[in-house]
Structure 1
């Protein structure tokens, strides 16, 4: 009942202006026209960052912690074993049932040498921490100018399976003066644009778990101790115009490398991390939201090229969402279609699945000059501006979390998921 009342309260406060849809070019024209006023100038068709304001003042509602949530990746080959151990122990991401505690460590140990070689092949570690810290820092500089009342905006990164882990992030929040009787606002900002219980849901479960350990009930029995951190959540943004524009810019840049007479015949393959069919059949919204991103990007591109949505990174013998990216490329090559552009549509920066799986395994092994990959979002000024716009709109909304986040999957039986949602819904009263 408490959850239902909180959801009802949130729903009433959600306005149509907070639901972004992508349609024809006027949406993008309007969004791009705002860039100059929000800290990005266009020069010779390229976006360049305006010198940011410094984080040296506190607004009436500041400071605000902006926490970027992501899977993460090992920064060195020595970290691969621990990374895989945490990954295969997470039943939200890779459900192994009652044998999770046995099969998880077994699989991680057997895969470690192979995965270490893959990370060695891309430079000795994942760049995802570097890009996450850069993106969050640059976004906060823009936010300080866009939302001075909630400044300074302090960037944090919370990875699910690699350093900095959620525990490290939460401890740093407390060390920096948030919570612990001093209050303060923190925003959990998912860096998975499309929501899945396996990704965003797992990260939120972890924040909720560490919040309970470090700021939970006191001896007096308080559910929300006075002076604890007030949390809100940006849980998904699959069709935000800035995200769509950033993808489209990178695709157009890649298409421009093909001869003009071939350009419109290049097949665009949007590749996203797959999910076990057991998760999909439970009602996870991820496939639909990835499809929404793909269609929005194709609308922005004018539907000029044929395209497909494909899926990568299947693990184990169980059924996963397909068609698989690797199989799709092989089949098109057999059919004589050798001009293909792979687009990592569910990733916001480079990591092992772009730099090794797509570049080395799929494109490299295909051996076709016409098979290429669109650049990842990484340091794109358009993308970073989009992050700032999303965060700014969220801070203005005074909504703890979206009504969509409160809806459980039809087949969900996880008490952890239920309690996590109750917690974030309860934060509405603190805003």
Structure 2
């Protein structure tokens, strides 16, 4: 939602609580039916099986969204119960259920209005399955590659994914390798960090003492799953190319004489300034993606980075996307191209907030356009496969950046999670 609309829907307690995550407001935003939402249905997929030294589990991490209206209540309950995402302190057990219960009927109707649920799961599963088919061909030494999805607040949850891994023959004395592949190109502690913390928690619970031993780097082929992490990829060439081509496609819709004058507005989910000031790397990594895309475009157009989905009265990273569009319209600049630069598939932030709020509210829907999301883009999926192949061949459990905590981090859970994944280096060597 835009800031002014969001403020009318949230209590001050929720506004203060939501400062923990850049992903929260959009999930709670309103949504109405519109033609673009699920116009493109993911085609059916088949899995190639080209075995060698595999199997390798490829686990896509995301926060997820309710796939059906029946899942909305549970989705909101889990979201408001998470103290890492929404820190309510001693009031967590009281305010969390109260807010989620109050919001459920309205949010349930809103998901019904957009066709009965979020498209995030179907796009995540499609992207992963197609990526694994490519990996079977280009990385036969780690094949077959098995696709899994782990969401934080919607099915399939992280614990469900982990149980399925065990049931499929990973771990439980059989070992095997799994890659946690974040689907947030730019790292934030409240998105990728939260998902990795949850994965670490269920690893400890479901694989017992041996998993705890490996937290200290003592892995010695004890039959537990060996984990590694692809934790960020803001300037990967395939990601940049996929964005650039979609932008060029949208620019081609403008008359040639106006095309190079259209302003490119890269929009990413905003972040509370309290999180920014703690040292979260997200703003810098989003800016890196933007600059890399503009380099690929040879800086053909003027551009700005703006931020969407602010909620509540606390200070957030700006300028807001809605205010940016309004400001340029007021200055006489009506050819504006919105680019969701931090999202890899459609969801409420693109389908409702940009398509149904920002663009119509501009008063110029014929000249304010949104670039298509990556969704089932073959170029993007190939980029995912190339990243995965490079990671599988690197022998690295996680990047040096992931090992480093934010300067202002006080979360012991975050510290233990990072320690665990760093310690998986020895597990990979013996896998």
TM-score > 0.5, shorter chain as reference = yes
RMSD: 2.0
In the TM superposition, what are the counterparts of 1:134-173 in structure 2 within 5 Å? 134-173=126-165
> Does 1:121 pair with 2:113?
yes
Would the aligned equivalents of 1:192 and 1:200 in 2 still touch at CA under 8 Å? yes
Would the aligned equivalents of 2:57 and 2:148 in 1 still touch at CA under 8 Å? yes
Distance 1:267 1:110, change over 3 A: farther
Taking the aligned partners of 2:331 and 2:112, their CA distance within structure 1 comes to 34
Q: 1:329 aligns with which of 325, 331, 347?
A: 325
Distance 1:162 1:404, change over 3 A: same
Q: Which structure 1 residue ranges, 5 or more long, are not aligned?
A: 1-51
Aligned to 2:36: none
Q: Which stretch of structure 1 is more off in the superposition, 312-321 or 372-381?
A: 312-321
Aligned to 2:24: none
TM-score by length of 2: 0.84
> Does 1:110 pair with 2:107?
no
Would the aligned equivalents of 1:232 and 1:427 in 2 still touch at CA under 8 Å? yes
Taking the aligned partners of 1:155 and 1:222, their CA distance within structure 2 comes to 24
Aligned to 1:394: 391
Would the aligned equivalents of 1:67 and 1:158 in 2 still touch at CA under 8 Å? yes
Taking the aligned partners of 2:312 and 2:236, their CA distance within structure 1 comes to 34
> Does 1:374 pair with 2:371?
yes
Aligned residues: 379
Taking the aligned partners of 1:95 and 1:322, their CA distance within structure 2 comes to 23
Question: For residues 15-69 of structure 1, what are the alpha-carbon distances to aligned partners after superposition, in whole Å with 9 as ceiling and x for unaligned?
Answer: xxxxxxxxxxxxxxxxxxxxxxxxxxxxxxxxxxxxx996334212x11000000
Q: Give the C-alpha shift of residue 154 in structure 1.
A: 0.4
Taking the aligned partners of 1:408 and 1:264, their CA distance within structure 2 comes to 42
Aligned to 1:426: 423
Distance 1:54 1:351, change over 3 A: closer
3-state secondary structure, aligned to 1:216? helix
Taking the aligned partners of 1:150 and 1:421, their CA distance within structure 2 comes to 25
TM-score by length of 1: 0.84
Q: 2:83 aligns with which of 91, 94, 99?
A: 91
> Does 1:238 pair with 2:234?
yes
Would the aligned equivalents of 1:283 and 1:410 in 2 still touch at CA under 8 Å? yes
Aligned to 2:180: 188
Taking the aligned partners of 1:112 and 1:342, their CA distance within structure 2 comes to 30
Taking the aligned partners of 1:115 and 1:392, their CA distance within structure 2 comes to 40
Q: Give the C-alpha shift of residue 286 in structure 1.
A: 0.2
Would the aligned equivalents of 2:68 and 2:117 in 1 still touch at CA under 8 Å? yes
In the TM superposition, what are the counterparts of 1:21-32 in structure 2 within 5 Å? none
Distance 1:346 1:65, change over 3 A: same
Q: Give the C-alpha shift of residue 160 in structure 1.
A: 0.9
